[in-house]
Amino acid sequence: MKAWQHFRTISRHKIIVMKHCFQVGLYWQGLTHDLSKYSPTEFLVGCRYYQGTQSPNNAERKDKGYSRAWLHHKGRNKHHYEYWMDYSMNPKEGIVGLKMPPRYVVEMFLDRIAASKTYKGESYTDDCPLQYYQQAIERFPNVAGGGRMIHLETEALLRCLLTMLAREGEKKTFAYIRSEILKKGYPDTLHLQILQQKDEEWTK
């Protein structure tokens, strides 16, 4: 059991998310982010499977075939796209991802930055969150990006923010979030197409 190490890791992560949430104006979300990680259901698993280089939920999943801590976590935190999954009215589609409110897409984006900073430490660069996301798409194409578990517009917005961060840096990306996403919501179809074109240009 590595209780102290796990406590330090999740607290450092939470502080980073809180700082970035405050920078874009999401004060309440910054204060309440990931509080369920301190509950016994999640905290004790984190202590038992702590590694320091990745989420202990992954280790629990490898050990048991599923992660009880993750099942508890995703149902209580709206910044995870898995929170927004439901049965489609079309029986052929099964379970699908719903379009997330913009404020939670932003928190999800900031959560990914904080996770990369926490585990990468001094080797972190602004393209780390995008690289991690792209690796997840390659490993699990039906979960991230390639399937319907995340809504297409939600995925497009998240991917564009990650790409903007990698190419433009935090300052410009956070300014865009404050002035556009949190004030105007999802970009309209034309604007989204422009963002996707930028995404393709940046990743060439």
Residue 73 contacts by C-beta under 8 Å, 6 or more apart in sequence? 34, 36, 37, 42, 57, 80
∠ CA(129), CA(130), CA(134), 5° rounding? 120
Predicted confidence (pLDDT) at residue 137 exceeds the cutoff of 80: no
DSSP sequence for 145-170: TSSSSS-HHHHHHHHHHHHHHHHH-H
What is the average pLDDT across 115-122?
A: 95
What residue type is 26 in one-letter code? L
- CA–CA separation, 13 and 37 (whole Å): 11
Amino acid identity for residue 69 in this structure: A
Please check whether residue 169 is in contact with residue 143, taking contact to mean a CB–CB distance below 8 angstroms.
no
pLDDT, tens digit, for every residue of 59-117? 999 999 999 999 999 999 999 999 999 988 888 888 899 999 999 999 999 999 999 99
Output the pTM of the full model: 0.89
Rg (CA), the chain: 17
